[in-house]
Structure formats: structure tokens, C-alpha cells
């Protein structure tokens, strides 16, 4: 079986969309790779690390990764189970129009200054709707293009401009916390358990996480679990079982958290996804 499975979901003059699934079996850094076109990658399942020189970014459902044309990178997979991402390539004139100048390098060829940006729950929901609707071929290309451009605007906008604070050591510590959370997404972690696994005090970890990510650790974890729900909810036969698998204390707790994040209940979101997907 190939390491990657790539599904072509949309190809127009303005936008291309791919669904990329990776088996994620290699724990060590891969050979150096590069891409031919600048694009945005939205992980929606699993986790991997992207390395550019001495810098690294955690690729999980709370982030969009920014890949620059011709820039070398490596990947590693510290968590078993593989990963999946929605990959968007926008025509360079459109992307230059959409991207704030502060996110771009000062050179003729379009390139981003940063490896990754946080995305908010609304952007996570757009990723899920775009993927579900394209996979089931019940969306017109014009609507899909509009949805993709809305997602890019949301991702590159001011909601995603938090620039992680702290030094490299603190950022690496926070990355270890992210990897730990992803290793058992449905587990009801306590601060003491996380601190015991990572090392250091619970107080220090919470302070470091807030400084680097700009959101509390518990909220970051909740968004990961809800993003996994977005991935599964369209085809979930039992909402209560899904809630339990994702570590929620009850279906009502899950439904309330989902609605607060995405503005609709899990059942309502499933109806929308199914309407999009037939």
C-alpha cells in the first residue's frame, strides 16, 4: 500500500482541492521534499510534524500549514494512526490579493513568512463542509470555489494572526503537549496527568501553553475533539457513541459544546453535510 493516497476533488483555473491521506508510519524525519506551488494545508485528522530547517510546526486540526513553492521541508509522524489533510492551491494572483502583506515575504514570488496559522472553529467547519460536499459530488464548481476562497480569507485574516510567544524551548514543550493530546484524543486528561507525562509543573505548562498558543490548554484540546467530530459526524450512526468516543461526559455535553463552537447542533450540521453530499 502506498504511503500517500491523493484524491482530486476540484480543479478550476482559480482553485484546486486535494484530499491527502498518509499512513504516517515513519517516526523519523523524511527525506527533504518541496512543492512546486504555494498552497495551504488543512489537517483534519491525526497529527504530524513539519520541519523547515531548525523550525518545526505541529500539523493538527487547529492549524493551517503554509507551504511555499520551492522551500525544502521534512515531515515526521510521532503519533500512530496516520493523518489526513485538505490541500488548497489558489492561483497566485488571487492568493496575492487575499493574503495580507504582513504574512508575505518581501520578494517577487509569492511566499509566506510563517509555517502555520491557527484557525478558528468557523474555519474548521468550512474545511469539513468543503470536503464532504466535494467528496460526494453534490456541489457546483462555482459554489466550491466560493467556499474555498471564504476558507482562505478566514484563515489568513486577523483571527489567525496570533504569533506564538515564548522562546524555542517553550514552543517545543508546547509541541510535546500537542503530540500527547493527539495520541489519545478521547482521553479525559487532567493537568497532573499531562504534567507527569511531559515533565514540569501543571502551572508552568498552562502558562506556557497560553503564551505560545494564545488559548488555554483545555480549549485547544476541546477544539481538537470537536474537529474530529466534524470529520465523523456526517456518517456517525450513533451520536451518543460518538460523544463517548471523543471523551465527552454525555451526549448533551457534546451537543452543547458543538453548538457553541459551530453555531448549530451536531444533528443540524449532519443534515447540512448530508444535504451537500446527497
Residues 13 and 114 placed together within one structural domain of the fold: yes
Residues 178 and 110 in one domain: no
- pLDDT tens column, 30-51: 889 999 999 999 999 999 999 9
Grid cell 522551500 is found at: 71
CATH number for 52: 2.60.120.10
93: domain range? Answer: 4-118
In a domain, 144, yes or no: no
Mean pLDDT lowest among 101-115, 125-139, 162-176, 179-193: 162-176
CB 155 within 8 A of CB 123: yes
Confidence band (pLDDT; 50, 70, 90) for 17? very high
In a domain, 26, yes or no: yes
Going edge to edge, which strands form the sheet with 55-59? 55-59, 48-52, 74-76
pLDDT value at position 209? 95
User: Do 241 and 180 lie in a common domain?
Assistant: yes
Report yes or no: 126 and 134 within 8 Å, Cβ to Cβ: no
Distance CA 208, CA 257 (A): 25
**Does the residue 178 lie in any domain?**
yes
Q: What are the residues facing 73 on neighbouring strands?
A: 33
What is the per-residue pLDDT across 135-183, written as a single tens digit (0 to 9) for each? 888 899 999 999 999 999 999 987 655 566 678 889 999 999 999 999 9
**pLDDT of res. 273:** 76
Please answer whether residues 72 and 122 qualify as being in contact, where contact means their C-beta atoms are separated by less than 8 angstroms.
no
How confident is the model over 226-252, as pLDDT tens digits?
A: 999 999 988 888 899 999 999 999 999
pLDDT-based confidence at residue 84 (cuts at 50, 70, 90):
very high
pTM of the predicted model as reported, rounded to 2 decimal places: 0.93
Q: Residue 118: its pLDDT value, please?
A: 93
Residues 108 and 211 in one domain: no
pLDDT of residue 277: 44
Amino acid at each position: 500500500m502506498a504511503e500517500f493516497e491523493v484524491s482530486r476533488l476540484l480543479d478550476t483555473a482559480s482553485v484546486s482541492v486535494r484530499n491527502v491521506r498518509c499512513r504516517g508510519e515513519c517516526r523519523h524525519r523524511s527525506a527533504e521534499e518541496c512543492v512546486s506551488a504555494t498552497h495551504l494545508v488543512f489537517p483534519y485528522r491525526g497529527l504530524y510534524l513539519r520541519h523547515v530547517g531548525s523550525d518545526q510546526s505541529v500539523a493538527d486540526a487547529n492549524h493551517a500549514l503554509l507551504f511555499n513553492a520551492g522551500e525544502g521541508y521534512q515531515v515526521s509522524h510521532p503519533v500512530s494512526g496516520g493523518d489526513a489533510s485538505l490541500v488548497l492551491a489558489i492561483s497566485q494572483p488571487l492568493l496575492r490579493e487575499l493574503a495580507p502583506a504582513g504574512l508575505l515575504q518581501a520578494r517577487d514570488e509569492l511566499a509566506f513568512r510563517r509555517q502555520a496559522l491557527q484557525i478558528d472553529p468557523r474555519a474548521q467547519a468550512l474545511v469539513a463542509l468543503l470536503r464532504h460536499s466535494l467528496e460526494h459530488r453534490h456541489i457546483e464548481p462555482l459554489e466550491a470555489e466560493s467556499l474555498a476562497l471564504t476558507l482562505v480569507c478566514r484563515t489568513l485574516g486577523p483571527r489567525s494572526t496570533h504569533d506564538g510567544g515564548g522562546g524555542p524551548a517553550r514552543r517545543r514543550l508546547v509541541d510535546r503537549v500537542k503530540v500527547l493530546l493527539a495520541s489519545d484524543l478521547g482521553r479525559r486528561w487532567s493537568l497532573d496527568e499531562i504534567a507527569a507525562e511531559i515533565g514540569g509543573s501543571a502551572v508552568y505548562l498552562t502558562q506556557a501553553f497560553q503564551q505560545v498558543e494564545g488559548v488555554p490548554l483545555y480549549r485547544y484540546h476541546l477544539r481538537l475533539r470537536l474537529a474530529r467530530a466534524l470529520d465523523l459526524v456526517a456518517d456517525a450512526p450513533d451520536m451518543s457513541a460518538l460523544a463517548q468516543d471523543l471523551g465527552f461526559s454525555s451526549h448533551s455535553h457534546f451537543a452543547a459544546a458543538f453548538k457553541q463552537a459551530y453555531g448549530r447542533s451536531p444533528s443540524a450540521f449532519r443534515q447540512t453535510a448530508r444535504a451537500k453530499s446527497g
